[in-house]
Structure 1
Amino acid sequence: MAKSITRILLGNVQVTKNLLLLLVIGGLYAISISLSNTFVNIYLWKQSGEVSDIALYQLASVTTQPVAFLLAGYISKKADRIISLRLGVFILTAFYLTVLFAGESAETILLLLGALLGMGFGFYWLGYNVLTFEITEPDTRDFFNGFAGLLTSFAGMIGPISAGAIITWMPDTQGYKMIFFISFFLFIMAVLLSLKMKHRHAEGPLKIPAAAKEIKRNLAWRKILYSHFIQGLREGIFVFIIVLWVYMATNSELALGSYGLVTSAVSFAGYFLVSRFLKPSRRKKAIFIGGILLFGAVFLIVFNPAYPLLMTYGVIVSAAYPMLLVPYVSLTYDVLGKASSAGPLRIEYLITKEWFINGGRAVSILLLLLGISLLDEKQIIPILMVICGSGHFFIYFVIKGIDTRFLQNKKEVNSGMPENGGGDSLT
């Protein structure tokens, strides 16, 4: 009976212990992040009331991530990928524990909190991505990526609305402390589960210079990296400005949770439809259409960020992101797979990619901080939203010249699920 139920839920797939554990760990991570990450920004903003403070917090995170990816890569090469993932979960646990202990004084340690978050993200995602590549096989990769995407989208639907309800129902800041504690507990569970995963040692030193040389000699890879930089330009400020605008428009954590529920539901449907029906031959067209929608949606809110318009914006971008990200991420890994020594240097290539995307995020946040210091934030933020919001639109023009004839007609588009919380939906 149990085997029949498992087959119905998972399909006719040989699920190994490590694969199942990684799925569960990823699910715990997704639920924890969806519960708390959005509301950390609001919690900190309510203490200071300054957009610049939240920008500094986010800047500390995105500038720490490249360092974390480098250290995680060294550990993955010298010791074990599981250690990198475990350290990431442990650091994120320390992040939520620090927020809990800091309480009303959290605004005084914004840079520390941002650095902890960035280090946690960097260690976790490098370990998770490498383990995904190694644990899954060609006949299980579609299942794993698809099921992991469903878990992420489902967490995005239940997390924000549940957190918003808890915060609304509990007095003062008790609700915030409750959801931070729940996230802390879920990460502890993830750490304990990681202890059951089978270790797999790597060989050879970390060769960042060798991966860097590929940028000069491989035009397709260079274009992919440039596109990730301009992708980061949008994500840097949109990931927290939209959240702040939704809260400012409603003054309600429950309304913010409802925003997350609706946008995640649209995203869930979008990823399913795109992964089911998008053909590899139409990837670039999908990237172009998704980029236009993402850029055009910005003009709905820059002049009047009212809640109905913000909700409409959220629905549009949540439908557009799958159209862009599914083929875009698949194209990224296809090009990476064709790079020189892609197998031995896959960790180095992943680190390089993350450096470019976080570089774009850092530039957009620095532009925001500079703009706020020179002009009124009500004037400069809409201007920067239009400038940086064009990032995904220009992705198409950067990658359109890449030869995609080598792409295989498989369901690898399922791997286009968002990897590390980028973008401006709450998934």
Structure 2
Amino acid sequence: MLNRLGQDVSDHERKNLYLLLTIGLLYTLGIFLSNIFVNIFLWKQSEDIQVVAWYNLFIALSQMIIYIVFGKWAKKIDRILILRAGIILISIFFISVLAFGENAAQFNYLLGSLLGAGYGFFWLAFNVLTFEVTEPYTRDFFNSTLGMLQSASGMVGPISAGFIITVLEGYTGYLTIFFISFILFILAVVCSFFIERRQVEGNYSLRVAINERNKNPNWKMLLNAHFFQGTREGVFLFLVGLLVYMGTTSEMTVGIYNFTYAVTSLLAYQLVARVVTPSNRIKFITVGVISSYLSVFWLLISDVPYEFYIYGAVIGIAFPLFFAPYMSISYDVIGQANQARDYRIEYIILREIALSFGRGTSLLLFIVGLLFIEQSTWIQYGLVIFGVGYLIVNLYLAKIVRYSSDS
């Protein structure tokens, strides 16, 4: 897999690419092992989906605030230090969940804020480093390979956690998986000591990226695309896994569901890595988003394990077809923006703000809907409504590709 880089890629570039991929793997494995069960952990305590929705809303809001308030740190502080800060905060989050124990659901706002802050710092640094260590000719390789590593993490993490929680009853199972995640985060920090440190000269000015919206139609459309990406992910990232548990009351089933998703996703990422090129990206994106939306209607009628597994397999194939080429287009648009070399951090931060704002918007609307519509009915409506997000993303990306080819 790692030998697919061309001969024109220097050893220096390879080293930084591999280190960043390793950090992404360790981080993702730690998250997949533990975080997927936090929503279930909170719901089992409260049996109130609003508690879980508020927890996820505060994750999105906290992450967005980090980008807005602390984004300038990426130009004043070594990005590796910011990366470590994010990993440490996420580790503290898992320790806090254990400390609160049976009362964790009462601290859903605090826990969501803490995890969102960790996400914010980590992805602020990771996205900037991704832009810096990749070039247009290595981005499809990097995004596809990272996706495959994330899929492998999804294979190992959730099913292992589900087995551990099932065998070790009570809090012992959760304590075990949280501790393993903590060790993985520490290893990610160790790897960060070997990646090249990069300093950015110049003043921090988010206004440059904001003003570019009025001058660069591709940048404006990309921000809109990330917002609508967020409107789908805000609800789907927490609700689907919770639905699987609510329908089966089995952590092991949740683990197998995610294992199924990860296996098919891994295969799909391998396909994407081999066949996707800048000229055919939009075709794969279109197939991916249409498949992911149609699969929602299968999810709505699923109520036994194997039906959830089928949904996991379909979405596992559809998502890589969409996400890997989408990220390549995203970084290409940023790379072609005005003064991207000097203000790449600002562009990345504004992009992530748009994504977090989209997630927060959908979660807030979902919570409001729960106040007026019966829960099971609104969950079904919500999946259909917010599932449209990726379809809208596809429309914007098609315009970007068409506009770029005409200019």
Structure 1 Cα separation of the partners of residues 51 and 33 of structure 2:
22
Q: 1:224 to 1:138 in 2, by over 3 A?
A: closer
How many angstroms apart in 2 are the aligned matches of 1:336 and 1:355? 15
Q: 1:18 to 1:72 in 2, by over 3 A?
A: farther
Superimposed CA distance per residue, residues 237-256 of structure 1 (whole angstroms, 9 cap, x where no aligned partner)? 11111111111121111111
> Cα gap change, 1:291/1:140 in structure 2, threshold over 3 Å: closer, same or farther?
closer
| Match of residue 153 from structure 1 | 151
In structure 2, how many angstroms separate the alpha carbons of the residues matched to 1:402 and 1:143? 21
Q: Show the counterpart of 2:60.
A: 62
After superposition, where does 1:10-21 map in structure 2 within 5 Å?
A: 14=11, 18-21=16-19
Over 3 Å counting, the alpha-carbon distance change for 1:138 and 1:363 in structure 2 is closer
Is residue 181 of structure 2 the alignment partner of residue 183 of structure 1?
A: yes
1:78–1:204: 8 Å Cα contact kept in structure 2?
no
Which aligned pairs between 1:140-219 and structure 2 lie closer than 5 A? 144-219=142-217
- Determine which of 320, 338, 357 is the counterpart of 1:340: 338
Q: Tell me what 2:279 maps to.
A: 281
Partner residue, 1:53: 51
Confirm or deny that 1:361 pairs with 2:359. Answer: yes
Say if 2:68 and 2:353, in contact at 8 Å, map to a contact too. no
SS of residue paired to 1:171: coil
Cα offset for 1:17? 5.2
1:378 is matched with 376
Give the structure 2 partner of residue 418 of structure 1: none
Instruction: Give the match for residue 3 of structure 1.
Output: none
The residue aligned with 1:133 is 131
Whole-Å separation in 1 of the counterparts to 2:23 and 2:192: 7
- 1:109 alignment partner, SS class: helix
**Which structure shows the bigger proportion of residues in helix conformation?**
2
SS, match of residue 399 in structure 2: coil
Corresponding residue for residue 424 of structure 1: none
Q: Is the 8 A contact 2:33 2:157 kept in 1?
A: yes
Unmatched tracts of structure 1, length 5 or more: 1-5, 408-427
- Of 115, 118, 130, which aligns to 1:117? 115
Residue 323 of structure 1 aligns with which residue?
321
Query: For 1:205 and 1:129, how far apart are their aligned partners in 2?
Result: 19
Q: Residue by residue, what CA displacement relative to the aligned partner does 1:236-292 show, whole Å, maximum 9, x if unpaired?
A: 111111111111121111111111111101000111112211343332222222221
Partner of 2:388: 390
Show the counterpart of 2:288: 290
Distance between the aligned counterparts of 1:143 and 1:403, measured in 2?
20
**Between 239-248 and 192-201, the greater mean CA deviation after superposition:** 192-201
Where structure 2 has 5 or more consecutive residues not aligned to the other structure, the ranges are: none
The equivalent position to 1:92 in structure 2, one of 90, 93, 96, is: 90
Shift of 1:72: 4.4
Partner of 2:27: 29
Corresponding residue number in structure 2 for 1:417? none
Aligned to 2:101: 103
> 1:122 Cα shift?
1.0
- Asked if 1 retains the 8 angstrom alpha-carbon contact of 2:136 and 2:332, the reply is no
2:251 paired residue number: 253
Residue correspondences, number:
402
- Say if 1:30 and 1:152, in contact at 8 Å, map to a contact too: yes
Instruction: Give, in angstroms, the shift of residue 402 of structure 1.
Output: 2.2
| 1:136-165 deviations in Å (ceiling 9; x for gaps) | 467765654444333211111111111111
How far did 1:7 drift?
8.8
CA contact (8 A) 2:155 2:258 kept: yes
Could you tell me how far apart the structure 2 residues matched to 1:142 and 1:335 are?
14
Cα distance in 1 between the residues matched to 2:164 and 2:229: 34
Over 3 Å counting, the alpha-carbon distance change for 1:106 and 1:87 in structure 2 is same
The alignment partner of 2:202 has SS state of coil
Secondary structure of 1:202's partner?
coil
CA displacement 1:326-359 (0-9 Å, x = unmatched): 2222221222222111111111111111111111
